[in-house]
Amino acid sequence: MQKTIRLILSLAFLSPLSPSYAYEVESHRVIAERAAIIEVNGSSLERTLQDELGIAEGLEAEFEGRSIQRWIGEGAVFEDEPDDRVVNHFHNPLLP
């Protein structure tokens, strides 16, 4: 058991440290906006907006001059900036 722990610690200290990379903010916006219109597992945002939220226009609806697709893109940007906000970007709600 101690040999295994030593090996893991040695590998951790000897491995080169490298930063993790994420999508650029604008790329994240585009991905989020495109994801808003793609059907996944038989459900779609269009259907959810109309059937569950009662927004008859679906993806064509606008709020404060922006489409829902654009708001989703804006949300992706808001989650990426400022830098301290991204710390909890991938928060696991199952952890305390």
Higher per-residue confidence, 38 vs 89:
38
Three-class DSSP category at 38: coil
CA distances to 16, 49, 80, 85, 92 from 95, rounded to whole Å, are 29, 30, 22, 18, 6
- Residue 73 contacts residue 27 (beta carbons within 8 Å): no
> What crossing angle do the helices spanning 68-80 and 25-35 adopt, rounded to 10°?
150
51 has a pLDDT exceeding 80: yes
Which pTM was predicted? 0.59
Q: In the beta sheet, which residues pair with residue 67?
A: 62
